[in-house]
Structure 1
């Protein structure tokens, strides 16, 4: 049975990417290839896409300057996206957005502005009023990449319900209490400071007790362990194989449903790092580094069924497909499918 896939892309040539897609794409994945790639919505630089619970409503950022945007869409039974409206993201170059598990709010963050906005969502999925707005201040140790706040990812803590903000620019991961009205209240005692490591993306382990965090600037991946109402950093290790040389920028991290395996994409090495995760010891062990089959892998997703991994290879205009066996933590390239400037992958 084929699965439908939403693909976020770049449409413009920017300093860090030669974007030439035409907007949000939809495609089919049959287990071996990505096919029937079509333009679902013409949005400028929709580099991140997400969906509400049930997948009836889809949201995309528009990574533009001097102000970015977020757009809402109704998704029909045939997969067609119908725009419901858009709003300012509250700053330039939004990089990420997530729908609250309640389906009542959209949370968006800007890389260029270092801001977080919360939007109420109407019953029809459209964007309502902004219920919260936070602007980070400060900078990190790296004068080039951490000259200002750069919010890179947002998520919701599955245990506490807090909104978690990963800011590469100030080198911190911040936890915010989230109210029923959509307000954010910083919990400064819960902030995790990574500094020059450059935190980029994190994923909650299925056990709810651990977080795995990938750092872009030093090619590391960290284990955070829940300690009461906050997390503490208990391990940091490299995402690169022994002997790897040259520039490298990790991008995405995902964990298998069993929690046994963690995968990290490496741009530069153009590999997927495969880690075994020991929950008792709160420890990652690198067991393999597999060529991804394309250039600059951004997002990684494990397909429904759990035996395939897809990688969005931004600079080689393809989505690559790898066979995945969680039991023995093996990963093997099966093939590639042409897709223009893919960045984000979301099964619906």
Structure 2
């Protein structure tokens, strides 16, 4: 199969109406808009059920957040609304489903809490069973006045959930026990003050993990103990070129490790680049390997396609998607084709 479905989530300002379907050719890198899949307010982050038949999307409302479920048509990729649940918080911005498909975890950014839901056999979202409030702050008085849960990441074995909290300069660690979150021991890892951890990804070697820090534009490299769930920071590296002195208005957003574990990529908003790092295969440490312009403004989320040959970046403020070919040997990214219209695109998710 050379053509894959790509779901594009957005903020529903300007011309955007919700979740869109695109078609991506994995041989040529051609991307084309197909249709509006679902009208929904601010579907800023999405994920799939492990079986691939359901799509879940947050509704990033600043007053009353919600999370939605959609059935996926296996032939067309079209979405049919199933149900919606409140997140009991404001600005839900990230979510994850554990591998058995029985539990959904949502991070609420502004209110700094995490909501936990059972998933029913038909993929619908049950009533929330847990609401965990984070507490704390950081030295950045404008952005870290309180807790701000920013992402939820499942451990490779599905036994733990890692919640990056930008406001507290911590990644909180929870064990998943019978569909509920229980504080792990240790219960968090801290990053440097004012860093603002945002997103998080594991290395396929099972020994390392990477935290991208929004406020100080760095990546924290951690040694990972799969037995205890502990993270031990071993390196901090900038996502910007050495010649960038003025960081005013700049921030990072997303991070991904290539499937072969040789490269890590991170997005720089307002610098409008993807940072490229090579990975030391023994230690997991990073070495800067370059930057690729996204040819637009404010790259937020990006994704590596299932073949590993392409990277697609969503430019929120220029309403478009940049497609790159990826050199598996050196990790470098080369833009291909024309920019593709995508209104206020902030999340890219390949379908099943």
Fold agreement, TM-score > 0.5: yes
User: Could you tell me which residue of structure 1 aligns to residue 39 of structure 2?
Assistant: 42
User: Could you tell me which residue of structure 2 aligns to residue 15 of structure 1?
Assistant: none
What secondary structure sits across from 2:128 in the alignment?
A: strand
What secondary structure sits across from 1:197 in the alignment?
A: coil
User: Could you tell me which residue of structure 2 aligns to residue 303 of structure 1?
Assistant: 305
Superposed CA deviations along residues 213-271 of structure 1, whole A, max 9, x for unmatched, are: 10010010011102451110000010001212443211111111110000111112111
* Equivalent pair of 2:326/2:334 in contact (CA under 8 Å): yes
Deviation at 1:49, TM superposition (A): 1.0
Q: 1:193 aligns with which of 190, 203, 207?
A: 190
Write out aligned runs for 1:257-268 (5 A). 257-268=259-270
User: Could you tell me which residue of structure 1 aligns to residue 125 of structure 2?
Assistant: 127
Write out aligned runs for 1:28-39 (5 A). 28-31=23-26, 32-39=29-36
* Equivalent pair of 1:86/1:127 in contact (CA under 8 Å): yes
Q: 2:282 aligns with which of 261, 280, 283?
A: 280
CA RMSD in angstroms, aligned pairs only: 1.3
Deviation at 1:83, TM superposition (A): 0.8
* Equivalent pair of 2:56/2:67 in contact (CA under 8 Å): yes
Q: Is 1:207 equivalent to 2:202 in the alignment?
A: no
* Equivalent pair of 2:209/2:223 in contact (CA under 8 Å): yes
Q: Is 1:56 equivalent to 2:53 in the alignment?
A: yes
Distance 1:115 1:190 in 2: 16
User: Could you tell me which residue of structure 2 aligns to residue 346 of structure 1?
Assistant: 349
What secondary structure sits across from 1:298 in the alignment?
A: strand
* Equivalent pair of 1:10/1:20 in contact (CA under 8 Å): no
Distance 1:190 1:113 in 2: 20
Unaligned regions of 5+ residues in structure 2, if any? none
> Which one is further off, 74-83 or 308-317?
74-83
Deviation at 1:34, TM superposition (A): 2.1
Q: Is 1:162 equivalent to 2:160 in the alignment?
A: yes
Write out aligned runs for 1:60-209 (5 A). 60-77=57-74, 78-159=76-157, 161-180=159-178, 182-187=179-184, 189-194=186-191, 195-209=193-207
User: Could you tell me which residue of structure 1 aligns to residue 7 of structure 2?
Assistant: 6
Regions of 4+ moved over 4 Å: none
* Equivalent pair of 1:103/1:121 in contact (CA under 8 Å): yes
What secondary structure sits across from 1:117 in the alignment?
A: strand
* Equivalent pair of 1:190/1:231 in contact (CA under 8 Å): no
TM-score normalised per structure 1: 0.95
User: Could you tell me which residue of structure 2 aligns to residue 325 of structure 1?
Assistant: 327
Distance 1:341 1:101 in 2: 30
Q: 2:222 aligns with which of 211, 214, 224?
A: 224
Distance 1:22 1:282 in 2: 41
Superposed CA deviations along residues 276-324 of structure 1, whole A, max 9, x for unmatched, are: 0013133100011111111100111111211110000101100100010
* Equivalent pair of 2:98/2:158 in contact (CA under 8 Å): no
What secondary structure sits across from 1:259 in the alignment?
A: coil
Deviation at 1:188, TM superposition (A): 5.2
TM-score normalised per structure 2: 0.94
Residue-pair matches, total: 341
User: Could you tell me which residue of structure 2 aligns to residue 16 of structure 1?
Assistant: none
Deviation at 1:160, TM superposition (A): 6.4
Distance 2:247 2:188 in 1: 32
